[in-house]
Amino acid sequence: MPGEPILPPRPTAPSIPVAAPRATPSRPTAPPFVESLGDALRASSQRLNEGEVLMDRALRRGRTLDHTELLALQAGIYRYSQELDLVSRLVDRGTQALRQTLQSQGS
């Protein structure tokens, strides 16, 4: 007959509740590339040295740079100045913390 299904409807399987996966609690860890403040300062020092080399090379070339080279130089100097600013703030805060610690021990 028209409109009637040819096959009888299949029984549906009962749904089985599935528990959501549980998140395992984990403690925050430092990124693997920075294991200590000393490592971070050493890495920053290396990047600062690379920035100095970049600027020194650009100054010693003595030739006219095209637009692409000028933009690349500007980006490199910007990264260098940001790294220098970060290191100076880290040293300043470390000095302040050391001064505070020494003053509290002397009291």
Whether 3 is covered by a domain: the verdict is: no
Whether 22 is covered by a domain: the verdict is: no
Whether 12 is covered by a domain: the verdict is: no
**Helix boundaries (H) for 1-107:** 37-61, 67-106
Q: How far is CA 62 from CA 39, 59, 65, 66, 90, in A?
A: 36, 6, 9, 13, 35
Q: What is the pLDDT of residue 34?
A: 52
Whether 32 is covered by a domain: the verdict is: no
Whether 43 is covered by a domain: the verdict is: yes
pLDDT in tens, 26-73: 555 555 555 677 787 888 888 888 888 877 887 787 778 789 988 988
pLDDT in tens, 61-75: 777 878 998 898 888
Q: What is the pLDDT of residue 39?
A: 81
Q: What is the pLDDT of residue 42?
A: 84
Whether 2 is covered by a domain: the verdict is: no
What token pair was written down for 100? Answer: 């505070």
User: What's the CA gap between 48 and 59, in Å, rounded?
Assistant: 17
Whether 5 is covered by a domain: the verdict is: no
Print the domain residue range for 74. 37-106
